[in-house]
A and B are shown apart, each in its own frame.
Chain A
Amino acid sequence: GQQVMQIPQYQHVQEGEDFTTYCNSSTTLSNIQWYKQRPGGHPVFLIQLVKSGEVKKQKRLTFQFGEAKKNSSLHITATQTTDVGTYFCAGRDSNYQLIWGAGTKLIIKP
């Protein structure tokens, strides 16, 4: 079936460094959503991107949707301890089904 590949699986950063996670789909997506799941918690909706080439910002978070609507990225500038968690992308296919990436776990090095 259709898959959304998300990389990397883990990213270890020093506090203050940047973090990026990428999602790629083999087929065109109607839109893509991003969620954050804190350790032991549940996913929380962050944002949805709909338009080709769309870029949205939320404070230190920058979300991009590719021109072909097959890839997306989330970039966090100057990570803080509050950013720790797993970030998931979820792309909506032509049948309006939400296809989830496996997530990228952000770990802050002590």
Chain B
Amino acid sequence: DGGITQSPKYLFRKEGQNVTLSCEQNLNHDAMYWYRQDPGQGLRLIYYSQIVNDFQKGDIAEGYSVSREKKESFPLTVTSAQKNPTAFYLCASSMRDSAAYGYTFGSGTRLTVV
């Protein structure tokens, strides 16, 4: 079945460490996105990519980095510069970044700083 796979499901990080969250999709979607969700809140866009080797900052990109070397993969690195990284991270994809398509989400990664 086609879908988006995020790993790991749970991740614990020590302060000062960088961590990378994986996102892989086999839907042949062009666009991919990273969102952050804090308890009881909506989704905030971190980064998005519409094509391979190109990506754009979202509303809260500071302290995060991404790459898009393959159409299927869009990993997110949470750097030590991110002051409050504990959150639920969601990866999504869509057919193309146009008006016509809804987003498909992965099951998310819950990151906790210990």
Contacts and interface: CB of A to CB of B under 8 A. Distances in A.
Interface of A: 1, 6, 30-31, 33, 35, 41-45, 47-48, 50, 88, 92, 96, 98, 100-103, 105
Contacts, number: 45
Contacts of A31: 99
B103 interface: yes
Top-9 shortest CB links A-B: A45-B102, A102-B42, A42-B105, A100-B43, A100-B42, A30-B99, A43-B105, A42-B108, A42-B107
Interface residues of B, number: 21
Contacts of A35: 102-103
B108 A103 contact: no
Interface of B: 40-45, 59, 90, 92, 97-108
A56 B107 CA distance: 27
Given A33-B103, A96-B99, 12 more contacts: A31-B99, A35-B102, A43-B90, A45-B103, A48-B100, A50-B99, A88-B43, A98-B45, A98-B103, A100-B42, A100-B43, A102-B42
A102 B41 contact: yes
Given A42-B90, A50-B99, A96-B99, A88 B104 contact: no
A96 B97 contact: yes
